[in-house]
Structure 1
Amino acid sequence: MTLDALMLSRIQFGFTIAFHIIFPAFTIGLASWLARLEFEWLRTGNYLYKNLYKFWVKIFAVSFGLGVVSGIVMSYQLGTNWSRYSEFGGNVLGPLIAYEVITAFCLEAGFLGIMLFGWDKVGDRLHFLSTCLVALGTLISAFWILSANSWMQTPAGFRIENGIALPVDWWQIIFNPSFPIRYAHMVLGCFLTTAFAVGGMSAWMLLRHPHDAPEAKLAGARTSLSMAMWFAVVMVPVQIFIGDAHGLGVLKHQPTKLAAIEANWERTANMPLLLFAIPDEKAEKNHYEIGIPKLGSFVLTHSFDGVVPGLKDVPPDQRPPVWPVFFSFRIMVGIGFLMLGLSLWSLYLRWRGTLFTNRPFLYAAMLMTPSGFGAVLFGWFVAEIGRQPWVIYGLLRTADAVSPVAAEAVATSLVTFMVVYAFIFGFGSYYLAKLLRRGPDPVETMPGEELGKMPKRPFSVPSESLEGGPGRRALPAE
């Protein structure tokens, strides 16, 4: 591997996007989770849901801010490190990114202040509307970003004129062949990321207290864990089904990527499902294969006799790196089945009435806290590395998209990013851990009495002074 300007630019973009994606993957789902909590608060008048909202909205605010900071950097890189890519595809991709800013980011930014600071300053319904619009903004943002990225995977609705891609049909550009299923797969992945993060953090809070602790200390964690696991039980199987449909799309539109995912060298029918192998790109074969006969063809084509493309169908210079794509896909799928196992376990324990007291399950849920982030990251590794050597599939090679900049300049900016990111995200992670350690405020169930103290500032933590706040709502008599 030569550390020239091309390789350093790829490392830098991979580094920044890997940091960035973990925050939208969390906040997209968390915004909708907050909308659900506030809906339950308005529907039932149960102060528990409002307490949970006020706890998780702090996590959302910090994560949202870190996501914005890391996202801005990537936009600049398109001009500094990838100017030829911007020149070739800017007429198509530029408007899509602009639509994301105009329709989504402005919507989020416009109502985020009311969502964070509007309690007791605006009516309950207006505050709920603000939360819903912020959640909608995150979904619209994902819509445009996934549309742009999917166009890079399966370009459509354009023409090439003087070596530049020009738009012809915006409907085909936006709703390109891979976009609908990729959007559904990504958004549901974000929701599951939030569900397992919330469930794992709630399990950790329950493990910190004995199961017979006062209900006021455990109610919030129990409610969060229960809601997260119900969502996972329903949606993990749906995500597996969507992932299967996504695989059929990759087979149709990006056969070489699919061949790399399966480390399949020869076009063949009756292909085994490889559980493990060591791909050897020089020898064009695999070592130490462990597989299930014929099942690979069935999974990929829904027929045991289905023909699966091979890497040898294209010249070596048109193949993606096999090793990272092959293993990243299997890690992602493995995480998905671990999610399924934990979800079914929670369903069994719920039936037994021991969901909140089974310590092995709580430890397993806690260990699964980062599982969604891992699945999203490894999924993106498959999508982006599997597209190589193309930055726009079949049209523009990555090597032809890089800016004419010196390797030293890219190396300097890469090191600078690493230092700055370590500083910013180190403090951000420390603050998030401090908020999580506190957990939701306990809720007293005595009707008509003061329900404790509110933080003096919206993002106060336990060490800071507290004071009572106006507009408290007592629980209805039980």
Structure 2
Amino acid sequence: MPGLTALELARIQFGFTISFHIIFPAISIGLASYLAVLEGLWLWRQEPVYRDLYHFWSEIFAVNFAMGVVSGLVMAYQFGTNWSYFSAFAGSITGPLLTYEVLTAFFLEAGFLGVMLFGWNKVGPGLHFFATIMVALGTLISSTWILASNSWMQTPQGFEVIDGRVVPVDWLKVIFNPSFPYRLAHMTIAAYLATALFVGASGAWHVLRGRATPPVRTMLSMAMWMVLVVAPIQIFVGDQHGLNTLRHQPAKIAAIEGHWEKASGESVPLILFGIPDMTAEKTRYAIEIPYLGSLILTHDINGHVPGLKEFAPEDRPNSTVVFWTFRLMVGVGMLMLLLGLWSLYLRWRGDLYDSKLFLRFATAMGPAGLIAILAGWLTTEIGRQPWVVYGVMRTKDAVSNHSALALSTTLIVFIVMYFAVFGTGVSYMLKLVAKGPQPFDDLPPHDKGQSRRPARPLSAVSGNITPSVNLSRQKEA
């Protein structure tokens, strides 16, 4: 690819693969917990609607989980192929953390996944529920270790550099580094929100097509309750994460805000929109709200926020990119809050399943959680630049000695293969969503994935993806 260096191509390749990968674990985290809730409600209330929803979403979980595993393997190999100097420098910390993830989370999920997907009529209800809980717990443990590793790269501590390599001296400080609690909470809540929006969008889509069956109404209702409760919590956690980032990565905050300099004694305005110019060292066409920047970023109307000019040019993140990715994330978050409040108003009026405008909005918000996750990851990872380990190792020193031609070729191969493989997988998963939930007892024996002998996660999916009801619009009874 002309005009791009090997470093830029390696970063693009890793960014491309992680962008594909992250959507699958996010949905797996949310769906696994959702399945545990559904099965718990079924065991408690014995209402068929929860059993039917469990089997419907377990099929989608199986497809999503399989794609998450496959896409994650590619990323792991890239640490050795494209970032070998980083692996040599920091592998004594990142290697064990990723190993702990495999030994605790992946083995836990693998051990109970077969029981969860294929054991409905083969084990007792208590054991099956326990297996579902263990799979859900495994997804949360997995995210814990992954975020511990990534957070250490953002706010490293508990180590020494000896003979040009990182040596851990305090594992508790390595794992519980300053940004870890905030980033773990922020990402986990984001996964729950993304899943709730996905579930809610599927429910709204079915209602719009006249399929307001009890399972469809139930999953739409549960999803809207989740959005209503969790969206404000995410805003609070995001605010606390911002305070932590200002303390430990002030250059990232300056880049996010498009803030270049501050005269002594003046409050910082909030720049709503603008175009940060890294060459001219200013934000063009800025639309500002006086004092609000200091109030939001420091919780003090006179609080100091450093400008990008306070950092050497070679230490500045690309403000032009993170300025907009951050605003995309926040903007989508505000739409989530609006969706939750609107659902509460309609629920109070008794119109939750009747407002076509709301249902269309809920359907359109289906991918919003994943968009926010991608925008947030771009913000935090590009905002860390030019460091791969913040303040310790620069990204340019971490990349392997590959030619631009080799990286261009592999990047093109990745793009073609990813869109072919995962495009097919996502399409299949959406067809399962379009099929809609149906009574589990009405399935023929050969279609009951929960009753068959385990082979692989995708075996849990019934072969028939034809919608269970007519696709034409029907009036709700």
For Structure 1 versus Structure 2, the TM-score category normalised by the shorter chain is over 0.9
Paired residue type of 1:254? Q
Match of 1:272 in 2: 269
2:452 is matched with none
Distance 1:463 1:314, change over 3 A: closer
Separation (CA, whole Å) in 2 of partners of 1:463 and 1:380: 34
1:102 maps to which residue? 103
- Unaligned 5+ segments in structure 2 are 450-459, 469-477
Deviation at 1:462, TM superposition (A): 3.2
User: Corresponding residue for 2:453?
Assistant: none
Q: Which residue of 2 aligns with 1:470?
A: none
Q: Which residue of 2 aligns with 1:62?
A: 63
1:259 aligns with 2:254: yes
Structure 1 residues 406-441: Cα deviation after superposition (integer angstroms, max 9, x where no partner): 222222221111121122112102211221111100
The correspondence of residues 138-157 of structure 1 with structure 2, limited to 5 A, is: 138-157=139-158
| 1:239-250 paired onto structure 2 within 5 Å | 239-250=234-245
Q: Amino acid of the residue matched to residue 202 of structure 1?
A: G
CA distance in 1, matches of 2:55, 2:181: 34
- 1:220: which partner in 2? 215
Letter of the aligned partner of 1:144 in structure 2? W
1:272–1:295 Cα contact (<8 Å) kept: yes
2:387 matches 1:390: yes
> After the TM superposition, which segments of 4 or more aligned residues of structure 1 sit over 3 Å from their partners?
450-454, 461-464
| AA matched with 2:141 | I
How many residues end up aligned between the 2 structures?
453
Deviations 1:370-410 (A, max 9, x none): 01001100000010000000000001100000011222222
Alignment match, 1:379:
376
Identical counterparts, % of pairs: 56
The structural deviation recorded for 1:324 is 0.9
Superposition deviation, residue 453 in structure 1: 4.3
Does residue 154 of structure 2 align to residue 159 of structure 1?
A: no
2:361 pairs, out of 361, 364, 368, with 364
Question: Is 1:71 paired with 2:72?
Answer: yes
Q: 1:150 and 1:349 mapped to 2: Cα distance?
A: 40
Letter in 2 for 1:261: I
Distance change >3 Å, CA 462–CA 394, structure 1 → 2: same
Alignment deviations for residues 346-384 of structure 1 (CA, whole Å, 9 cap, x no partner): 000000001011110000000000010011000000100
State whether structure 2 residue 109 is matched by structure 1 residue 111: no
* Root-mean-square deviation (Å): 1.5
The one-letter code matched in structure 2 to 1:284 is E
- By how many angstroms is 1:232 displaced? 1.2
Q: How does 1:341-356 map to 2 (within 5 A)?
A: 341-356=338-353
User: Residue 447 of structure 1 corresponds to which residue in structure 2?
Assistant: none
SS state at 1:177 partner: coil
| Residues 1:460 and 2:457 are matched in the alignment | no
1:461 shift after superposition: 4.2
Tell me if the contact between 1:80 and 1:403 (Cα under 8 Å) persists in the aligned partners: yes
Amino acid at match of 1:262: E
What is the alpha-carbon distance in structure 2 between the residues aligned to residue 411 and residue 451 of structure 1? 52
Alpha-carbon shift at residue 451 of structure 1 (Å) = 4.9
Indicate conservation of the 8 Å contact 1:270/1:294, yes or no: yes
Q: In structure 2, the residue corresponding to 1:307 is in which secondary structure?
A: coil
Question: Which residue type is aligned with residue 255 of structure 2?
Answer: A
Paired residue for 2:473? none
SS at 2:23's partner residue?
helix
> How many Å separate the matches in 2 of 1:405 and 1:29?
38
Q: Which has the higher contact order (CA 8 A, sep 6+)?
A: 2
Partner secondary structure for residue 461 of structure 2: coil
Indicate conservation of the 8 Å contact 2:432/2:465, yes or no: no
- 1:202-221 matches, within 5 Å, as 202-209=203-210, 218-221=213-216
- Corresponding position of 1:475: none
The CA distance in 1 between the partners of 2:287 and 2:448, in whole Å, is: 59
